[in-house]
Amino acid sequence: MNLDRITVSLLAAVFVFATGAARAYSQESKPTIRHHLVAEPAEDTSSPEVPQAEAAMQRNDFAAAEPLLQKAVAAKPADYRAWFDLGYVYNAIERRAEAIDAYREAVAAKPDVFESNLNLGLLLAIQGENAEAAKYLKAATQLKPSEHPEAGLTHAWQALGRVEESADPEQALAAYAEAAKLSPNDPQPHLAAAFLLRKQNNLDAAAGQYRTAAELDPTSKDALAGLVDVYVTQKKYSEAETVLRKLLASDPKNSAAHTQLARVLTAEGKSGEATRQLQAALEASPGDPHAALELGTLYVEAGKDAEAEQQFRVAVQKLPQDPEVHFAIGSLLLHEKKFAESQQELLIAVRLKPDLADAYSNLAVVASSNKNYTLAMQALDMRAKFLPETPATYFLRAATFDHLKAIPQAVEYYQRFLAEDGGKFPDEEWQARHRLIAIDPKNADKYRVKR
């Protein structure tokens, strides 16, 4: 029975490049403050301190601007321009709560100013107050920016989409659509919509948005990576391969893209080409532990154990806290009959990830090989918490109890093995019958094979 079979996984579900890019886009797409100074009205009713403060603000002299603006709002509490500028100053010096209060005063004094509503909504969104942020961002979308109206309104619609994503995804998608109408050459609204659709598992729609973004910006790594992620999830490996090759044509040193392409090729059964892609990944990024782990896995499948061990050692050195890496090298060392070192690596794997069920299988085998029968039994008991028993585990339990001189338990599990195996492992069945004849002699006749 091949109990020391390598069970290293390709981690096919973990597409680091694609999902990593998606996460990066999610972080980049959070609302950012774009503080537009309010255009001066035709008839300026502001306090004389306001122009002086704005001159200081142009020099980034916020310490000088603040007292001037405080004097202005004290003299004229309804001076929306002074309140707006004060909000700008407070945000610039990272006094966000006071900035929000100032923008509230600006909106209360003059509700129809685009920039006041936009900046108040953006700040509230950063504070996590999405419901209230949406109120002001919606108001901004219905107003006219003092300059660059298309860009300003696009920003407002996109910010509204982001704060609506959790509470009302359909409204968020509608907001992204409005942004796309205003800026038809901008890929960002399509990327935002694609990311939300991907979260909803609406894969076809997400792919469509990613394709549009890629058409608008053929060099967009976010669009191409997102498209690959969707295609891989849909198991459309041929389409994923095409996109990745396009990405690599423009960025041949992209180690992550080479690694992702290797995963896709592996899923397509093209192991040889996958190996070459991983080698290219390591040439582009020497010592990349993820590429090394996967290249080692392909070497295992090809029977190149020495090359596999070399790659796994690179991975374990760079990723000492990754349980999958310790599992991989521990399993290979078991296959190579390097039992002491294998046991050490597998123990680290289950310490780092106590629910790594397959690691307990291999740990039980290697502990038994090291004659550490107590550890072997502990590993089998832990495995049983996550996986059903098999004829293999019954046989290993029986042999372990046998070595521990726990004869009744050994008899029980040898019997379970014989009952469950059904002739699949004749050598082990022969061993089980002869051990039962020896340790359960009163029932010896029933263990003998009838001729």
Per-residue pLDDT of the chain (451 residues; tens, 9 = 90+): 332 322 222 222 222 222 222 332 233 333 333 344 544 443 456 788 999 999 999 999 999 999 999 999 999 999 999 999 999 999 999 999 999 999 999 999 999 999 999 999 999 999 999 999 999 999 999 999 988 999 999 999 999 999 999 999 999 999 999 999 999 999 999 999 999 999 999 999 999 999 999 999 988 889 988 999 999 999 999 999 999 998 898 888 888 889 889 999 999 999 899 999 999 989 888 988 999 998 999 999 899 999 999 999 999 999 999 999 999 999 999 999 999 999 999 999 999 999 999 999 999 999 999 999 999 999 999 999 999 999 999 999 999 999 999 999 999 999 999 999 989 999 999 999 999 999 999 999 898 877 6
- The pLDDT, as a whole number, for residue 289 is 92
- The pLDDT, as a whole number, for residue 256 is 86
- The pLDDT, as a whole number, for residue 44 is 58
Q: What are the structure tokens assigned to 68, written together?
A: 């001037």
- The pLDDT, as a whole number, for residue 250 is 83
**Is the distance from CB of 281 to CB of 262 less than 8 angstroms?**
yes
Nearest Cα to Cα of residue 8 among 315, 409, 301:
301
Q: Which residue has the tokens 């969707």?
A: 230
- The pLDDT, as a whole number, for residue 176 is 96
Burial string for 83-115 (b: 16+ CB within 10 Å, else e) reads: bbbbbbbbbbeeebebbbbbbbbbbebbeebbb
The rounded distance, in Å, linking the Cα atoms of 377 and 383 is: 10
Sign of the Cα torsion 137, 142, 143, 149 reads positive
- The pLDDT, as a whole number, for residue 219 is 83
- The pLDDT, as a whole number, for residue 408 is 96
Nearest Cα to Cα of residue 14 among 319, 252, 251, 346:
319
The rounded distance, in Å, linking the Cα atoms of 402 and 408 is: 9
Q: What is the pTM of this model?
A: 0.65
Note the residue count of the chain: 451
440, HSE (Cβ side, Cα atoms, 13 Å): 22
> Measuring CA to CA, how many Å separate 395 from each of 81, 252, 401, 408?
82, 51, 10, 14
144, HSE (Cβ side, Cα atoms, 13 Å): 3
Q: What angle do CA 231, 232, 238 make, to 5 degrees?
A: 70
Q: Which residue has the tokens 């794997």?
A: 349
- The pLDDT, as a whole number, for residue 451 is 62
**Is the distance from CB of 224 to CB of 246 less than 8 angstroms?**
yes
DSSP states of 239-275: HHHHHHHHHHHH-TT-HHHHHHHHHHHHHTT-HHHHH
Q: What is the amino acid identity at position 273?
A: E
DSSP letter at 443 equals: G
The rounded distance, in Å, linking the Cα atoms of 197 and 436 is: 61
Q: Phi and psi for 382 in degrees, rounded to 5?
A: -65, -40
